Structure 1
């Protein structure tokens, strides 16, 4: 599924489905429905972990030509997100960025930037300013 919006999409990836869904809920409450938003959490069996296929599905859900910013909680989430991005293939893979930012705060700040119409590079830079 592709987003019809020209707004940068946000994907939240966590090893915990509850953390991923809760973070997405917080983002939605802060910025409303103006930003394409999806989450992926847990492994296929419903336990802790991540799934490359689920992450790819989340990216596809929020996809637009404006790009997608992905927020991850731990190393495995980042690795599976990288594989999902590679699976998109060129040129779309070049329009997806994993943000080196705190999961919750980064996603909220990025969504606020995206809601204002900022391009992907600015959305990522703003979120990454939160990192120590």
Structure 2
């Protein structure tokens, strides 16, 4: 797998998740591992722990994975997904408190440069209002 931190985008809307992923790919290309998901299991608005786990797997990197979420339910389900991952992976996954689109682009840009998981998270979170 890539030596670059992976990025996961979790939105209640499949369209928002895909759109943010398209922006990330447009900015950094395919060099950063990327996963995204949105919508509940029935295809409506919401999130799914299983979809989040699959997105983490898609973006997995030994350098870690930074997750960007849009709303509280996405954060809660992302936390549950992390808890369900193998123990050796759990410590390498963080949730960023950052705007989903801008945060994902900035996190991916930082990851593209080879930064650590902590630096990727910090860069994304610098965009969050204080």
Same fold (TM over 0.5): yes
Query: Who is 2:89 aligned against?
Result: 92
Length-normalised TM-score, structure 1: 0.96
User: How many angstroms apart in 2 are the aligned matches of 1:123 and 1:64?
Assistant: 13
- Corresponding position of 1:131: 128
Q: Report the Cα offset of residue 114 of structure 1.
A: 0.2
CA distance in 1, matches of 2:62, 2:31: 16
Structure 2: distance between partners of 1:116 and 1:29 = 15
Residue of structure 1 aligned with 2:98, choices 96, 101, 123: 101
**2:33 aligned partner:** 36
2:112 counterpart residue number: 115
User: How far off its partner does 1:89 sit?
Assistant: 3.4
* Distance in 2 of aligned mates of 1:129 and 1:6: 23
Say whether 1:52 aligns with 2:43: no
Offset at residue 6 of structure 1 (A):
1.0
Alpha-carbon offset, residue 5 of structure 1: 0.6
Q: TM-score, normalised by structure 2?
A: 0.97
Deviations 1:65-113 (A, max 9, x none): 1000000000000000000000013221110000000100000000000
The CA distance in 2 between the partners of 1:62 and 1:102, in whole Å, is: 19
- 2 CA distance for matches of 1:21 and 1:73? 13
Structure 2: runs of 5 or more not aligned: none
- In structure 1, stretches of 5+ residues that fail to align are none
Rounded to whole Å, the distance in 2 between the matches of 1:29 and 1:125 is 22
Instruction: After the TM superposition, list the runs of 4 or more consecutive aligned residues in structure 1 that deviate by more than 2 angstroms.
Output: none
